[in-house]
Chains A and B, each alone.
Chain A
């Protein structure tokens, strides 16, 4: 396995004055290059803390993190690290620095001192991937939430990261915007071999992942392929998460003794139900 992220015995505590609050505790993870990982957990479970540990916004109180060969505690490589770990946040409006889309995309590479022609090429490429090329010279004011978030992704892509972290980037969007962003993330994963870490508290966004990591109270409580993780319905409920509708329905039906499989998607459930006589 080609490991791109190694998190070893990592704990992080927030210290505010006298008060110490736990961010994450004893996290051990190895993430494979080119994989699509969904990080699930309810509010305050430590997902953002873990994300911030990955791009060096925070450094571990204990343990160490190696990302793409860089130790995140190494101050001298911090910008190298940040350009390799692209991070997109929740509110698309709060991530844009310029009023013209191409200027906003140029911001990252400009900061890194990339040559003008190369910046132009990167903007072309990034806008093309997120399907927003025709908006290049426009302002973002009138775009939908999903479109703005795709621009935010493109802005990060312009730094040519190897890892893309989406920290609840779908949380503020309507269903259409959510699926646009998810589609973009999957496309990047498949076509560009981008390692994607999608942070969310919507379980149904995790179905197509290679791997799901569930956090609760700063600890990793579940880790595995979607089909395995979703079976652990009790643990998931205890973590304060809600199973997708199809899973809940099929679980209830199985409890009642109907001979069907445990399903994750509506489509699967429909097929199972049609086989019932």
Chain B
């Protein structure tokens, strides 16, 4: 393993976007997603695209790496586009054959949906590229903290997330070891049909679960030994602080929102 998988997709460079407060980034991405779904005019998508490209540049992440994230979903995008094309039957008919009817509105609609999916994935990818899972967890805990008022266990949830992050690489390593051990006993994991392969994984999963439970046992002791739940007034060592960057980013974002709303509703009579 060459990459540290605790970092997930994180792309470790120093940039404006990397240094933003995770809370701000999370909120902005949520607004961005809502924006992508509300925007309806193709012209407005040009603005969204331009904004996304600017953001990628500001993040100092190579376009190639960002585009890689699209590779995984390109099939879904094409599939939904085709479905949309086939099922959208109202409007001006462009072409019809047997039961297949393709309309102008259908074409426009499926292009928009495809664009939405792509922009959605690209935007969230940018978030995970510029923010470590750890700081995302911190950001989420902080954003969710008002829910404490309705007795939602925000802190427990954030500990669960943090432990999950901590144990992913450990369990991955364990899977490697168990697979190796089973291979040494003559097991094969990459032969046969899907069913056979799934069955071959059983002798990997069972020891993995056994070990995971054993780990959980010791972990529970370790949590208690370190006074987990000792006081409701738990303190936080890591303090998230806003800086001028967060202000700049928010202003840029506000400008962007105004722009897409204006273009989307054709305030300026551009088209």
Q: Mask for A82-119, Cβ within 8 A of B = 1, else 0?
A: 11001101110111111110110011111111111001
Q: Mask for A107-142, Cβ within 8 A of B = 1, else 0?
A: 111111111100110010000000000000001011
Interface size for B (C-beta < 8 A) is 34
Give the complex CA separation of A87 and B221 in angstroms: 9
Q: Mask for B220-255, Cβ within 8 A of A = 1, else 0?
A: 011111111111011111110000000000000000
Residues on the A chain within 8 Å of B234, using CB: 110-111, 113
Residue of A91, A109, A111, A114 with most chain B CB atoms under a 10 A cut-off: A111
Nearest Cβ on chain B to A53's Cβ, whole angstroms: 13
Residue of A86, A97, A100, A142 with most chain B CB atoms under a 10 A cut-off: A97
Main secondary structure of the interface of A (DSSP, over half): helix
Give the complex CA separation of A112 and B229 in angstroms: 8
Residues on the A chain within 8 Å of B224, using CB: 57, 82
Residues on the B chain within 8 Å of A87, using CB: 221, 225
Nearest Cβ on chain A to B8's Cβ, whole angstroms: 10
Interface residues of A in 206-250 (CB under 8 A from B): none
- A185 on the B face (CB < 8 A): no
Would you call A142 and B4 a contact (CB within 8 A)? yes
Residue of B whose beta carbon sits closest to that of A56 = B224
Which of B57-65, B96-104, B161-169 lies at the binding interface? B161-169
- A195 on the B face (CB < 8 A): no
Nearest Cβ on chain A to B138's Cβ, whole angstroms: 9
Q: Mask for A67-92, Cβ within 8 A of B = 1, else 0?
A: 00000000000010011001101110
Residues on the A chain within 8 Å of B230, using CB: 79, 82-83, 111-113
Give the complex CA separation of A264 and B124 in angstroms: 63
Give the complex CA separation of A177 and B236 in angstroms: 32
Give the complex CA separation of A94 and B238 in angstroms: 23
Instruction: Using C-beta atoms within 8 Å of the partner chain, give the interface range for chain A.
Output: 35 or more
Give the complex CA separation of A234 and B138 in angstroms: 57
- A55 on the B face (CB < 8 A): yes
Evaluate whether A97 and B162 lie within 8 angstroms (CB atoms) in the complex, with A111-B229, A141-B4 already known: yes
Evaluate whether A107 and B238 lie within 8 angstroms (CB atoms) in the complex, with A89-B218, A98-B134, A141-B169 already known: no
Evaluate whether A94 and B218 lie within 8 angstroms (CB atoms) in the complex, with A110-B237, A116-B237, A141-B6 already known: yes
Would you call A99 and B166 a contact (CB within 8 A)? yes
Residues on the B chain within 8 Å of A156, using CB: 225-226
Would you call A103 and B235 a contact (CB within 8 A)? no
Evaluate whether A113 and B218 lie within 8 angstroms (CB atoms) in the complex, with A99-B165, A159-B227 already known: no
Taking beta carbons and an 8 Å cutoff, which residues of A are in contact with B?
55, 57, 79, 82-83, 86-87, 89-91, 93-100, 102-103, 106-116, 119-120, 123, 139, 141-142, 155-156, 159
Would you call A106 and B226 a contact (CB within 8 A)? no
Complex partner residue of B227 from A82, A115, A116, A139, CB under 8 angstroms: A82
Complex partner residue of A91 from B7, B166, B215, B226, CB under 8 angstroms: B215
Give the complex CA separation of A252 and B106 in angstroms: 93
Residues on the B chain within 8 Å of A123, using CB: 237
Would you call A111 and B227 a contact (CB within 8 A)? yes
- B123 on the A face (CB < 8 A): no
Would you call B221 and A93 a contact (CB within 8 A)? no
Would you call A99 and B6 a contact (CB within 8 A)? yes
Residues on the B chain within 8 Å of A112, using CB: 227, 230-231
Evaluate whether A93 and B227 lie within 8 angstroms (CB atoms) in the complex, with A98-B134, A103-B238, A139-B4 already known: no
Q: What are 6 residue pairs bridging A and B, where the CB atoms are less than 8 Å apart in the complex?
A: A82-B225, A89-B225, A91-B215, A93-B170, A111-B228, A156-B226
Taking beta carbons and an 8 Å cutoff, which residues of B are in contact with A?
4-7, 133-134, 159, 162-163, 165-166, 169-170, 215, 218-219, 221-231, 233-239
Residue of B whose beta carbon sits closest to that of A95 = B222
Give the complex CA separation of A271 and B162 in angstroms: 54
Would you call A83 and B227 a contact (CB within 8 A)? yes
Would you call B227 and A97 a contact (CB within 8 A)? no
Residue of B159, B224, B236, B239 with most chain A CB atoms under a 10 A cut-off: B224
Residue of A whose beta carbon sits closest to that of B173 = A141
Nearest Cβ on chain A to B76's Cβ, whole angstroms: 30
Nearest Cβ on chain B to A49's Cβ, whole angstroms: 13
Would you call B6 and A95 a contact (CB within 8 A)? no
Nearest Cβ on chain B to A117's Cβ, whole angstroms: 10
Nearest Cβ on chain B to A107's Cβ, whole angstroms: 6
Nearest Cβ on chain A to B77's Cβ, whole angstroms: 33
Nearest Cβ on chain A to B161's Cβ, whole angstroms: 11
Residues on the B chain within 8 Å of A89, using CB: 218, 221-222, 225
Give the complex CA separation of A214 and B36 in angstroms: 69
Residue of B159, B166, B237 with most chain A CB atoms under a 10 A cut-off: B237
Residues on the B chain within 8 Å of A114, using CB: 235
Residues on the B chain within 8 Å of A155, using CB: 226
Nearest Cβ on chain B to A64's Cβ, whole angstroms: 21
Would you call B134 and A99 a contact (CB within 8 A)? yes
